[in-house]
Amino acid sequence: QEAQKSSKLGGRLRSGSEACSAARNSGGLRFTTVFVKLPGLLLLMGWVHAESSDCPVPSGSSSFDAGNKGIELMKAGNKELAATCFWRAADTAERSEEVVGWLKNAAQASEEIGNMQDAVEAWQQMFDVQQSIDIVPDLHQLARLPPMLMKLGLHQQAVDVWQTAIQLHPNSAEAKANFGATLHQLGMYEDAAKFYEAALQMKPEMHAVYDNLASLYREKGEQQKAQEVQSRLNNVKSNKSSGKTYMQLQEMGLNSLNAGKYEEAERFFLEALGKQGGDNYAIHFNLGLAYFFLRQWDKSLASYSKSLEHNPNFSH
């Protein structure tokens, strides 16, 4: 069984680097104890690749030559042949980091010509090689897989990839929101709503997620809940600072200060102080500046004093 699995995973990489060999035999990703490996993704697909035209470089050429030929072909618009060259470059590269780069190019070239099967295979093998050198896959690259898997009808695999992405990147609101959208598309409404809400809890300013959640409730016939979600969105839109961190609010305050909008700057700085920024001497100082320009001298001096209280060495 393991030999069969290896042959399917390694359908493209016929010989070549030790890293590619390790990727073929790894059977999935194992980065941390919380990582859920992709369960036989390519094996479950059972792909058999048709032979494609070979990369037009002399036999025995280096991976660098094959890869550069692929780049040249991409520029010329021959993306299918370029992908073949990138596969060959990955097959013959000596260093794992080079293998990763060429597989990424192969994946992107395959995507551009609409060859989703080869694109998913390239991304998967790239992640396997990254695993062999202890690199965690990039979230945005992982996120390319589920839409393609959904189009291929491989729904459970798409769910598995999102679960993996979320466990690898637990602080990403975008991953949770997109997983919610995938579950929503599959009619798994309760789970979808849970991930939409989790995303909004992390990033309340994600307007599209409110729209998706409201749409979900309408599809379920729960009009009251849909209206409540729409009201939440309207509240967020009416309050530009909603969901911002204190550092973001300070930046907004500085922009208002520089634009001469001193009352608006005051509001942003005060809100920043209320969001765990109370001991930030710079915010107190900037609030003092806003009060200075508003000619509120007592408040200005009080803010400057607070700034020095939190950082006695600060001088401006």
Spatial CB neighbours of 153, under 8 Å, sequence gap ≥ 6:
none
Average pLDDT by stretches of 10, the chain with 316 residues? 32 39 36 28 34 77 93 95 94 92 95 94 91 89 93 94 92 94 96 94 87 96 95 76 72 90 90 75 91 93 89 68
Three-state SS at 224? helix
Under 8 Å between Cβ of 130 and 100: yes
All structural domains of the chain with their residue ranges: 2-167, 171-238, 246-310
Tell me which residue of 175, 191, 109 sits closest to 137, measured CA to CA: 175
Cα–Cα dist 304/287, whole Å = 8
pLDDT of residue 120: 94
CATH value of 2-167 in 3.40.80.10, 3.40.50.2000, 1.25.40.10, 1.20.5.50: 1.25.40.10
pLDDT of residue 39: 33
Spatial CB neighbours of 130, under 8 Å, sequence gap ≥ 6:
100, 136, 137
Cα–Cα dist 186/163, whole Å = 15
The yes-or-no answer to whether 171-238 and 246-310 have a common fold is yes
Q: Is the overall model pTM greater than 0.75, yes or no?
A: no
Cα–Cα dist 291/300, whole Å = 5
Cα–Cα dist 183/225, whole Å = 19
Task: Give the CA-trace dihedral at 255, 260, 263, 266, to 10 degrees.
Answer: 40
Cα–Cα dist 82/40, whole Å = 28
Identify the CATH number of the domain defined by range 171-238: 1.25.40.10
pLDDT of residue 27: 36
Cα–Cα dist 270/262, whole Å = 12
Q: Which CATH class is domain 246-310?
A: mainly alpha
Q: Which sign does the torsion angle of CA 247, 252, 256, 261 carry? A: negative
